[in-house]
Structure 1
């Protein structure tokens, strides 16, 4: 079987595809991965063949992204969805994906939900397709109508057939009910290794702090990190902060004694030992924490993060601390930002109900098929997205 995988830029969009890529490779399928140039270092480090597609011109993309970051969250999501994912990225990737669907002739296209050129190409060439969720279903549904005019400009009914195609998600039913008729849930079994002993045999609880890989490029990133670090500086806890490649740690000022900083650590290794995750509410981090039964304190910033944080809070698996005041020095959290963050972290660490709720979700998630098991059933799904 030939399986074509496609992703937009960003590890948060590519990573949900990885368990399916690995499962296809393990069972002997011919695999080809297509992504924009920014993902080439990540793809080159893997064993599967890949092709690099096009990317939007910087002269158009950069001004758009600056507008997105300056808008209220809902307006920013709307502009990002329509203009970046819908128009620019689809236009840039489409020639490569049309060529591959025409000449390589995959039996199945598996795409992350915001890589749309592969859907257009698959529809043009009669190739079955399925979408892998990178966000909660309620967030995905909110962007469907924004993408409909873009997709249907390439052929009548494409948007409707995309919505009817199999929707593969890692989030459990009780947390994230799905409006998609052909929803299939899966999980990725964690395989954690032990963390290095950065805290000299301390037995204090471990708090994992991550704001993802993109926050370092934001104008107020340093102020945000300083606020977060101040909130955990006096806790009787070990704190691991991962910053991603875009962040200059020297801008944070003095690092608290209980905090260890790394650019990157395998998430599964941290979550295997963590008592709490303090994060931005990104989908990958939320999924990983809940799959490991670890409660969260979410500090949502943009995109789908407010939705994810709301799901966590609603399920009783954590708390949300939201920005309520502008300002570079407080990163939008006002003068009481440090106190509010610290209070939330202390509460989640202290009250066992949060961990119990996270554990309940972890059990529900682990009862779903693995990605490999799910792949075996896709051919039997009676949906327009599969022939």
Structure 2
């Protein structure tokens, strides 16, 4: 492949680990190839972005953070209004930040609505970097419309649609909000195809699965497996939905006295380790751990089945017990179970007895390693960050050719 001429690329995301981390290796690869990347991101992730060689374009955000997850609310409309509010306030700030230094191509997280508006304004291609599943043919009828119908039957839901539509129209975009959000012009999917529901019905002219783009993540630190650990279990519910002290106590009860097992318990910011009571020496409790480093040495993983954790579990060949908490995690859990490498428990079902039984049955299943081997072969073919960068450069070349015609 002929190397692409150096270009200025702009990446846009939100201050959420599950949305930023999947893009970082793609950005690092593009920088390595000589492109100049400006990455629009709120301040908490600026240093992480800078470590890739990209220039952080720091801007304020009104979205809830891991410190105040309750602000997300409890209903779908709560989430949607927050994203739209943030987009509306961010757009003029981002336009000013790039004034006089507009990019040749826009890369964007699925939640970054201003990125697509700006790409339209600048007349440059926009490429979505999706950190989770994408819509398939029939998605709207099967999933989208049933989920949104109750909201749209309310005054608040209709007002949200009207406001979103008016904002798009004021910026020269005449599309329904659902299509604007869920149907990008071009998309690179940063999850393994194995995690995509109805993959055979995904439009491959739009969506390219490039799989996990994890990198080494050396900057996150290391973890050493204890010399006396026969088997290692990692327990983590991610960074947002972690206020679950009863669940963590059940994990201590389930695995703390399990002969030969060492448990790494990541409890997040919202639980005081003292709430767990007496913890045996075979259980180490942390607010945060370098998850990938632990998984590379682990024998089992109790996870909330977020997109990042699910694919990290697959990439490291780690059997998983999924205890989903919100949004796409329920679907991810079902996909993992369907692949034959996971068990699923609801939060209510996750008693000490059920957790222990699920982990031991998975680790003792002689078919699980063979299933992982097949999955990993498929993931290797997807290409990761180098293929993602190839596809971005192809978009640049197509745009340049179209502009010259």
TM band (smaller chain): 0.7 to 0.9
| More divergent stretch after superposition (248-257 vs 17-26) | 248-257
Structure-1 residue corresponding to 2:174: 156
Q: 2:272 aligns with which of 239, 248, 256?
A: 248
Structure-2 residue corresponding to 1:212: 238
CA shift for structure 1 position 275: 1.3
Structure-1 residue corresponding to 2:127: 130
CA shift for structure 1 position 310: 0.9
Q: Structure 1: which 5+ runs fail to align?
A: 324-332
CA shift for structure 1 position 45: 5.9
Q: 1:99 aligns with which of 96, 100, 108?
A: 96
CA shift for structure 1 position 283: 0.8
CA shift for structure 1 position 192: 8.0
Distance 1:258 1:118 in 2: 47
CA RMSD in angstroms, aligned pairs only: 3.4
- The answer to whether 1:185 aligns with 2:209 is yes
Distance 1:138 1:232 in 2: 39
Distance 2:373 2:116 in 1: 36
Structure-2 residue corresponding to 1:326: none
CA shift for structure 1 position 316: 1.0
Q: Secondary structure at the match of 1:241?
A: strand
* Change in 2 beyond 3 A, CA 1:20/1:231: same
CA shift for structure 1 position 250: 2.1
Q: 1:299 aligns with which of 314, 318, 323?
A: 323
Distance 2:397 2:176 in 1: 13
CA shift for structure 1 position 360: 1.9
Structure-2 residue corresponding to 1:362: 376
Q: Is the 8 A contact 1:241 1:260 kept in 2?
A: yes
- Map 1:3-18; keep pairs closer than 5 Å: 3-18=9-24
Distance 2:397 2:144 in 1: 21
Q: Secondary structure at the match of 2:34?
A: coil
Report Cα offsets for 1:170-193 as digits up to 9, x if no partner: 333344116344111223365488
Distance 1:346 1:322 in 2: 18
Distance 2:368 2:222 in 1: 24
- Map 1:224-239; keep pairs closer than 5 Å: 224-236=247-259, 237-239=261-263
CA shift for structure 1 position 161: 6.4
Q: 1:117 aligns with which of 110, 114, 126?
A: 114
Q: Structure 2: which 5+ runs fail to align?
A: 1-6, 149-159
Q: Is the 8 A contact 1:8 1:89 kept in 2?
A: no
Give the structure with higher Rg (CA): 2
Report Cα offsets for 1:254-307 as digits up to 9, x if no partner: 223321223333333212211111111111110111012222110001121111
Report Cα offsets for 1:230-265 as digits up to 9, x if no partner: 222232312112234444222222223321223333
* Change in 2 beyond 3 A, CA 1:45/1:380: closer
Equivalent pairs, count: 363
Q: Secondary structure at the match of 1:137?
A: coil
Structure-2 residue corresponding to 1:29: 35
Structure-1 residue corresponding to 2:191: 171
After TM superposition, the score normalised by the length of structure 2 is 0.78
